[in-house]
A and B are shown apart, each in its own frame.
Chain A
Amino acid sequence: MAGIDIEGLATVYPNGVRAVDGLDLTVADGEFFALLGPSGCGKTTLLRTIAGLESATEGSVRIDSTDVTRLEPGKRGVAMVFQDYALFPHMNVSENITYPLKVRRVAAATRASVAEKTGDELSLQGLLERRPGQLSGGQQQRVALARAIASEGKVLLLDEPLSNLDARLRLEARTFLKKLQKDLGITTVFVTHDQAEALALADRIAVMQSGKLRQLGSPREVFARPANTFVANFIGSTPMNLLPGTVASDGVSIAGGSLPAATGSVPSGAEVTVGVRPEYLTLSTGDVSGPAVRGSVVVAENLGTQSLVTVDCDGTLIGVTVPEEDEPSPGTPVVLTASEQRVLLYDKESGELLARQPAVV
């Protein structure tokens, strides 16, 4: 088992695109680590650079304290599962699983027992003689995982592990994957563009944009305290409200009302972007004391157990989630409130988080 240390890593394509642009990152031993970002953010390139499939232009990658930056992929001790699984169509499941051992000229008898054992671990009993083409998507994924595990790498790399599965199967596979990773305790880095997947699976998430790291933290941290408006926008199934506001003595004034906020060193009167998640806003129909924003309901969208209510507050549209039984009808005058630590202030220009508040996790 081993950790990964990445220092000043850059991967530049021949056409000059800096797919990975000066990155520092440490993945702890046994950690389940997510690289998250929109397509083209460099997350897959980073993963492939760790694997050795792309060569680093600058910086270094160390696995288990060994510098592997210039090593061949096969000599780095990494195992990888590709997005399309890359199962060899002409080999059966057993041959696929043990191909890494065949490359190392491990005896056939040993290979057979490894195939048997790994197949058992991943519930592939009875499928060992089949060809990949005869398997379901979920089974193919497990074969790819089995192959990666059988190769006994120190680090497991997964490229979009769930994206090739249909929605229902994806949830099941997600649970399976998390449990497997915990059972094996193998350092695992996976790439995903799906924030929900990253939040659900990872111990820590690195959010990337344009080859750069935008935030590194636990799922709770990136969800509750996005370090910038980019992350704020990207994380969460309902988008965070990002509204223009002005810092006042006791909070921020937005949309004709005000909300409490830890303004810290931000001077009164400064114009900021106020970020508050719909989930962290409270909607009430009666009167409330203290800072609040008032408006009327425009539309309510059913999200299952919750409803996303859009409120028009002095011309600004603000989203707020409420339990389904509390869904107000359009036109209802409502009041929105929030607790101080849920209201985040971002620099209006750079979009970076301003006030240094103690993290509420």
Chain B
Amino acid sequence: MTPAFVVRRIGFYVLICAITLFFAVPMLWIASAPFDKSPGLGVHWPDWTLDNVRKTLDHPYAMHSMVNSLLICVTTAVAVTAFAALASYALSRVRIPGRDALLYGLLLLSSVVTGTAAMVPIFVMMFQLGLIDSRFGVALVMTGGLLPAAIFILKDFVDAVPKSYEESARVFGASTLQILRDVVLPVARPGLATILVWAFVNSWGNFLVPFLLIRSIDKQPGAVLLQTFTDEGGSANLSVIPVFSLLFSIPVVVLYLLVNSRYGFRFHGGIKS
């Protein structure tokens, strides 16, 4: 071991420590503040208490917003998965006229029409449709936004399913419906689960769409309510915000870990799954 080697090793570990600290330190607050007797914005060893949890559970809107989030995200995730499954199977297996152009268009759409670029017309459209302040409206907009990418990811899955499964079922006399039900659907299950979780996680964290479309506080999902908390005249409610942040993060992390352990982390060019 030459001195140069030792210096390089030390440098390497200092670098790793610095990077780790950079990512870890801003997160410490969410681990300490929820359980502190006098939670502030700083990080210190908490003076343990569960009072904040009780206060959060008693908060008139906190738990209610979780239910709203759940309502919106389950609707979105189920709709995205169901419609993307149907569309991706048709696109993968049937030569629909204009298919390649359609695929290219979808691919463009998935990255070009972002929430920020389309927020004004979406707001105007939902306003004129009378879908402002509707949780269903929020779910619809999110579904439309997530579908192009979902179709693509699922089409990748379906493309990877050997056609011989369906062929074999067909040789043995299975009808189209039987093939879809007995063979395609079960075989595509990991893909469907991934999309379900992906759509759920994406809509759970979505702030812009409900922020634009929901007016009344009792219909706000968690993502917007948290922002509403911080806006309460500077006197942020510090006994509720930390616990709420933590609770609101848990489903996302749990789902991520679940998918990760069941199906392994699939890297679909930037998909959180």
User: Do A80 and B169 touch across chains, with their CB atoms under 8 A apart?
Assistant: no
> Does B94 count as interface, using CB distance less than 8 angstroms?
no
User: Do B189 and A90 touch across chains, with their CB atoms under 8 A apart?
Assistant: yes
Residues of A within 8 A of B131 (CB): none
Residues of B within 8 A of A90 (CB): 186-187, 189
> Does B237 count as interface, using CB distance less than 8 angstroms?
no
User: Do A151 and B172 touch across chains, with their CB atoms under 8 A apart?
Assistant: yes
User: Do B164 and A103 touch across chains, with their CB atoms under 8 A apart?
Assistant: no
> Does A78 count as interface, using CB distance less than 8 angstroms?
yes
> Does B231 count as interface, using CB distance less than 8 angstroms?
no
The secondary structure that dominates the B interface is: helix
CB distance from A175 to the nearest CB of B (A): 25
> Does B49 count as interface, using CB distance less than 8 angstroms?
no
CB distance from A294 to the nearest CB of B (A): 55
User: Do A74 and B186 touch across chains, with their CB atoms under 8 A apart?
Assistant: no
User: Do A79 and B172 touch across chains, with their CB atoms under 8 A apart?
Assistant: yes
User: Do B174 and A103 touch across chains, with their CB atoms under 8 A apart?
Assistant: yes
Closest to A83 in B: B164
> Does A230 count as interface, using CB distance less than 8 angstroms?
no
Bound complex: CA of A102 vs CA of B178, how far in Å? 10
Q: A86-B162, A88-B183 are in contact. Are A103 and B168 (CB under 8 A)?
A: no
CB distance from B190 to the nearest CB of A (A): 10
CB distance from B4 to the nearest CB of A (A): 49
User: Do A80 and B168 touch across chains, with their CB atoms under 8 A apart?
Assistant: yes
User: Do A88 and B171 touch across chains, with their CB atoms under 8 A apart?
Assistant: no
Residues of A within 8 A of B170 (CB): 53, 72-74
Bound complex: CA of A52 vs CA of B172, how far in Å? 11
CB distance from B181 to the nearest CB of A (A): 11
> In which size bucket is the chain B interface?
10 to 19
Residues of A within 8 A of B174 (CB): 74, 99, 103
The residue in A53, A102, A147 that gathers the most chain B C-beta atoms within 10 A of its C-beta is: A53
Residues of B within 8 A of A53 (CB): 167, 170-171
User: Do A103 and B167 touch across chains, with their CB atoms under 8 A apart?
Assistant: no
Residues of B within 8 A of A89 (CB): 187
User: Do B165 and A86 touch across chains, with their CB atoms under 8 A apart?
Assistant: yes
> Does B58 count as interface, using CB distance less than 8 angstroms?
no
> Does B182 count as interface, using CB distance less than 8 angstroms?
yes
Query: Which residue of B168, B171, B187 is within 8 Å of A52 (Cβ)?
Result: B171
Q: Mark B159-197, 1 if CB is under 8 A from A, else 0.
A: 000101101111111110010001100110100000000
User: Do B173 and A74 touch across chains, with their CB atoms under 8 A apart?
Assistant: yes
Residues of B within 8 A of A52 (CB): 171
Q: Mark A38-74, 1 if CB is under 8 A from B, else 0.
A: 0000000000000111000000000000000000111
Residues of B within 8 A of A102 (CB): 182
Residues of A within 8 A of B187 (CB): 88-90
Q: In residues 122-172 of chain B, which contact A (Cβ within 8 Å)?
A: 162, 164-165, 167-172
Closest to B172 in A: A100
Residues of B within 8 A of A99 (CB): 169, 172, 174, 182
> Does A168 count as interface, using CB distance less than 8 angstroms?
no
The residue in B165, B169, B170, B173 that gathers the most chain A C-beta atoms within 10 A of its C-beta is: B173
Residues of B within 8 A of A280 (CB): none
CB distance from B262 to the nearest CB of A (A): 15
The residue in A75, A86, A90, A100 that gathers the most chain B C-beta atoms within 10 A of its C-beta is: A86
> Does A24 count as interface, using CB distance less than 8 angstroms?
no
Query: Which residue of B168, B173, B175, B186 is within 8 Å of A82 (Cβ)?
Result: B168
Bound complex: CA of A75 vs CA of B174, how far in Å? 10
Residues of B within 8 A of A72 (CB): 170, 173
Query: Which residue of A73, A88, A147 is within 8 Å of B165 (Cβ)?
Result: A88
Residues of A within 8 A of B167 (CB): 53, 73, 80, 82, 86
CB distance from A92 to the nearest CB of B (A): 12
Bound complex: CA of A75 vs CA of B175, how far in Å? 11
Bound complex: CA of A72 vs CA of B189, how far in Å? 28
Bound complex: CA of A83 vs CA of B168, how far in Å? 11
CB distance from B172 to the nearest CB of A (A): 4
> Does A84 count as interface, using CB distance less than 8 angstroms?
yes
CB distance from B46 to the nearest CB of A (A): 48
User: Do A103 and B171 touch across chains, with their CB atoms under 8 A apart?
Assistant: no
Q: A90-B187, A90-B189 are in contact. Are A100 and B173 (CB under 8 A)?
A: yes
Q: A86-B165, A88-B183 are in contact. Are A104 and B171 (CB under 8 A)?
A: no
Q: Mark B100-119, 1 if CB is under 8 A from A, else 0.
A: 00000000000000000000
Residues of B within 8 A of A86 (CB): 162, 164-165, 167-168
Q: Mark A102-123, 1 if CB is under 8 A from B, else 0.
A: 1110000000000000000000
Residues of A within 8 A of B186 (CB): 88, 90
Closest to A101 in B: B172
Bound complex: CA of A88 vs CA of B161, how far in Å? 11
CB distance from A290 to the nearest CB of B (A): 57
CB distance from B195 to the nearest CB of A (A): 18
Bound complex: CA of A315 vs CA of B171, how far in Å? 56
Q: A88-B186, A99-B182 are in contact. Are A79 and B164 (CB under 8 A)?
A: no
Bound complex: CA of A80 vs CA of B166, how far in Å? 12
23 A-B contact pairs sorted by A residue (CB < 8 Å): A52-B171, A72-B170, A73-B173, A74-B170, A74-B171, A79-B171, A79-B172, A80-B171, A83-B164, A86-B164, A86-B165, A86-B167, A86-B168, A88-B169, A88-B182, A88-B183, A88-B186, A88-B187, A89-B187, A90-B187, A90-B189, A103-B172, A147-B172
Extra 5 A-B pairs, beta carbons < 8 Å, given A53-B171, A74-B171, A88-B183 = A74-B173, A79-B172, A86-B162, A86-B164, A90-B189
